Chains A and B, each alone.
Chain A
Amino acid sequence: MNENEILRIENLTKKYFNKTALEDVNMSVEKGKIYGLLGPNGSGKTTLMKVIAQLHKQSSGHVFINGNPLSYESKASISYMPTENFLYDSFKVKHAVKFYADMYKDFREDYAMNILEEIKVDPEFRIAKLSSGLNGKLKVALALSRNADLYMLDEPLNGVDVLSRDTIMELISKSYDETKTFIISTHLVSEIEKILDSVIFLKDGRVELFGDAEELRLSKGTSVEGLYKEVYKNV
């Protein structure tokens, strides 16, 4: 096994009744890199993240975290941010922070409070009253405040205004270090491609393309977005 490998997926298939959401997915994800999980709605991005986060069980195939099959321990080393709004409307921001601190042993409360101050989210704000931009930033801030090995952010830029998108990408860049790995799903490719090391294109539940973003620019002479348009033009 490659010692830099944090996540390995072998022949992963996920079926829901008669629909195949993921089909024979294989990949090796390395430590210290930011991956873009790209594809239009319905390509399997969320399903893939949910299987890795153990919210869904695969139909067949294997997933390894740090060389070990998925388990309770591996679950603890993954910080997963679902795309849905999962924070209770009746909470204040500070309650959400407390909730995370109670849920996760690796949650860094000071770190979270610092980020919230930096991005101007008042701990006294009520979740229900937050704009979608603030809500998006809060969700990302909470996920990044855990001290995990692997961060999976499902559509962190979706439904968020342009300035908040920049803030979210800055938060990701700042929380990066060589021991952490990020998988970020999005269909907003042009916004995010500059912060990515590698890209994974999913199409109809299969890996259509996997590669280093800079090498792809060099060999194909086009942006990740350009490749994206080419791969999905008939979808």
Chain B
Amino acid sequence: MEFNNNIPIYLQVIEKIKQDIVTGRLKSGDKMLSSREYSTMLGINFNTVARVYKEMEMEEILFTKRGLGTFITESPERIKSLRYEMAKKQIDDFVRGMEQIGFTREDMIKFIAENK
């Protein structure tokens, strides 16, 4: 994985794991690598990965079984809502960008329909 050092690395790792979950590369109930294994594999700091896991646990995307490790949520609803959150963010970014160059929402919808 390539990182952009201008952006906090934990945010980039979170984004990558989320993408892997919603596209099914990582599956519900899968065990994550330990912080140590994952940080060594990515060539990043141990505490950065620990922070990623902590933040994603708070978002209820990952959970920890004491002594067994960190796992991906077993809730299909959470994965569905995650997909929705990510789509929403993409749309928000897109709309903001389009508004900056003078498009109204109606213009955008029309423009998308015409540019398949």
The residues of A with any CB-CB pair to B shorter than 8 Å are 32-34, 166, 169-170, 173-174, 176-177, 190, 193-197, 213-214, 217-218, 221-226
A-chain residues with CB within 8 Å of residue B45 when the two chains form the complex: 34, 173, 194-197, 213
Whether A194 lies near B9 (C-beta < 8 A) is yes
In the assembled complex, B102 has its CB within 8 A of some CB on chain A: no
Which range holds the interface residue count of chain B? Answer: 10 to 19
Known contacts A173-B39, A214-B10; is-contact A193 B47 (Cβ 8 Å)? no
A214–B52 Cα gap in the complex (Å)? 12
| Chain B 30-54 near chain A by CB (<8 Å), digits 1 or 0 | 0000001001100111111001000
Q: Which 8 pairs across A and B sit closest by C-beta, in order of nearness?
A: A223-B5, A214-B8, A217-B8, A194-B44, A223-B6, A173-B40, A218-B8, A195-B45
Whether B39 lies near A190 (C-beta < 8 A) is no
Select one of B5, B10, B36, B46 contacting A193, CB under 8 A: B5
A-chain residues with CB within 8 Å of residue B68 when the two chains form the complex: none
B-chain residues with CB within 8 Å of residue A194 when the two chains form the complex: 3, 5, 9, 43-45
Known contacts A170-B40, A173-B39, A173-B40; is-contact A33 B47 (Cβ 8 Å)? yes
Q: Chain A residue with minimal CB distance to B44?
A: A194
A-chain residues with CB within 8 Å of residue B113 when the two chains form the complex: none
Whether B47 lies near A170 (C-beta < 8 A) is no
Select one of A33, A196, A222 contacting B6, CB under 8 A: A222
| Chain B 1-44 near chain A by CB (<8 Å), digits 1 or 0 | 00101111110000000000000000000000000100110011
Q: Chain A residue with minimal CB distance to B47?
A: A197
A193–B48 Cα gap in the complex (Å)? 12
A197–B10 Cα gap in the complex (Å)? 12
A32–B50 Cα gap in the complex (Å)? 12
| Chain B 43-71 near chain A by CB (<8 Å), digits 1 or 0 | 11111100100000000000000000000
